[in-house]
């Protein structure tokens, strides 16, 4: 039987210990700052680490990894009796030193799994039912570690192999990923400072999103509406496939960033109002449960999760997207959620489902991600 309670414990790693007072003080200060904005803790932490230059880059990295590790392990650390940040930090140090919490006893599969992942029991119960105990334990193990940094080679400029070669010349080690065009970094790097980045050779994009873009059965010259484009990662990927892109979003700042990215990448992307298109992509707002490996602090937004308004918004966006699909065209729904209510929607009237797929971190090595593709009659 898998040990659901301990399935997400970190591997022992003495190099990650917060073993000096100034390190523990920095970690406590970072946690305190994050808790001031629980709905945006990840962004708050990023700002805090950027501003605290006095720590030095290596120290910031060490403290950052520890803080995110503590957030991942908060459920089981609190089950040991840890209450204060000092106790959480001490408990995390013990885990990195090899403590496997042998004295903790099971309180049932759902409670144990929720504790391991530091998630609400409702989410733990759903994943246990969907994956079984062995699969759920494997998912917990996959979520315990830091997500890799994945690049998408801009095929307008280069191939993945050419990008790997150029990165090596610029002092960054990388290998080809699991899909054509994907590149996996094998070390940390200041990506925006690289000449390859400034030349538009790559974008940072998880392989899950790259797989979605590759799975859409479209061809060069077709019109594509990215209805919830954000900063445009998928817009740029589909433009590289030859799509004539219109990007739409309610967030002006994100669209401004997209225009900068498109110019750097040499991509033809029109930012504007939705219009009838051959392919309409709805990458809908969601709970973000598929990004927990990459953004551990999202956990703090999930307590008492009520998806009623989110699902209603997803349905409205799908309906809006369906109205913009030309006859014979495609409607694509995508979400970075691993919750069934967000990744399964009824077929819109007049559309035939072509395919649907869900990527899981433990089986696919990507962020959690799901999509459905329909064709309009």
pLDDT for position 57? 87
Whether 173 is covered by a domain: the verdict is yes
Contact present, 320 and 249 (Cβ < 8 Å): no
pLDDT value of position 114: 98
pLDDT value for 132: 98
Q: What is the CATH number of the domain that holds 193?
A: 3.30.70.1170
Strands (E), 111-232: 150-153, 174-176, 182-185, 202-204, 223-226
Domain count, the chain: 3
Predicted pLDDT of residue 220? 96
**pLDDT score of 339:** 98
Could you tell me the residue range of the domain that residue 234 belongs to? Answer: 215-376
Listed in order, strand segments (DSSP E) in the chain are 150-153, 174-176, 182-185, 202-204, 223-226, 244-247, 269-271, 277-283, 325-335, 351-359, 369-376
- The answer on 224 and 362 residing in a single domain is yes
β 277-283/325-335 pair status: parallel
Contacts of 65 (CB under 8 A, 6+ apart): 16, 146
pTM listed for this prediction: 0.95
- Nearest CA to 314 out of 296, 295, 293, 339 is that of 339
Q: Which of 205, 239, 254 is the last residue of a domain?
A: 205
Mean pLDDT per segment of 10 residues, for the chain of length 377 residues? 96 96 95 91 90 87 95 98 97 98 97 98 98 98 94 97 98 96 96 97 98 97 97 97 97 95 96 97 97 95 94 97 98 98 96 98 97 97
Residue 322, domain CATH: 3.40.50.150
Together in a domain, 134 and 174: no
Last residue of a domain, which of 143, 159, 176? 143
Residues 17 and 156 in one domain: no
Domain-located, residue 368: yes
Residue 210 lies in a domain: no
Domain identity same for 167 and 224: no
Whether residue 247 is found in the same domain as residue 363: yes
One domain for residues 159 and 113? no
Residue 169 and residue 127 share a domain: no
**165 and 228 together in one domain:** no
Residues 115 and 44 in one domain: yes
Give the helix, strand, coil percentages of the chain, each rounded to 5.
50, 15, 35
185 and 244 assigned to the same domain = no
Residues 126 and 154 in one domain: no
pLDDT (0 to 100) of residue 54: 82
- Whether 247 is covered by a domain: the verdict is yes
Same domain as 297, residue 266 = yes
């Amino acid at each position: 039987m898998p040990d659901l309670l301990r399935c997400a414990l970190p591997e022992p790693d003495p190099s990650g210990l917060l073993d000096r007072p100034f390190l523990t003080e920095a970690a406590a200060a970072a946690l305190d700052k994050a808790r001031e904005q629980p709905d945006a803790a990840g962004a708050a932490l990023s700002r805090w680490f950027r501003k605290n230059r006095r720590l030095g880059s290596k120290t910031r990295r060490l403290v950052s990894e520890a803080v995110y590790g503590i957030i991942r392990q908060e459920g089981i650390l609190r089950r040991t009796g840890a209450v204060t940040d000092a106790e959480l930090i001490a408990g995390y140090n013990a885990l990195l030193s090899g403590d496997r919490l042998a004295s903790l006893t099971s309180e049932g599969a759902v409670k144990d799994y929720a504790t391991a992942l530091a998630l609400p029991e409702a989410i733990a119960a759903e994943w246990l039912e969907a994956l079984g105990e062995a699969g759920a334990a494997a998912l917990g193990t996959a979520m315990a570690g830091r997500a890799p940094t994945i690049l998408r080679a801009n095929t307008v400029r280069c191939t993945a192999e050419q990008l790997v070669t150029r990165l090596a010349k610029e002092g960054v080690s990388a290998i080809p990923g699991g899909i054509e065009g994907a590149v996996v970094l094998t070390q940390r790097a200041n990506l925006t400072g690289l000449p390859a980045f400034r030349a538009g050779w790559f974008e940072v994009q998880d392989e899950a999103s790259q797989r979605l873009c590759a799975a859409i059965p479209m061809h060069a010259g077709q019109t594509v509406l990215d209805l919830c484009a954000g900063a445009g990662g998928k817009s740029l990927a589909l433009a590289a496939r030859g799509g004539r892109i219109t990007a739409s979003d309610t967030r002006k700042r994100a669209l401004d960033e997209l225009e900068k990215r498109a110019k750097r990448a040499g991509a033809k992307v029109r930012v504007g109002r939705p219009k009838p298109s051959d392919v309409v992509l709805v990458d809908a707002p969601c709970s973000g449960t598929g990004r927990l490996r990459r953004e551990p602090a999202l956990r703090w937004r999930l307590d008492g999760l009520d998806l009623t308004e989110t699902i209603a918004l997803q349905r409205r966006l799908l309906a809006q997207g369906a109205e913009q699909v030309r006859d014979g065209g495609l409607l694509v729904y995508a979400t970075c959620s691993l919750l069934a209510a967000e990744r399964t929607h009824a077929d819109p009237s007049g559309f035939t489902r072509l395919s649907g797929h869900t990527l899981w971190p433990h089986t696919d090595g990507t962020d959690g991600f799901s999509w459905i593709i329909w064709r309009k009659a």
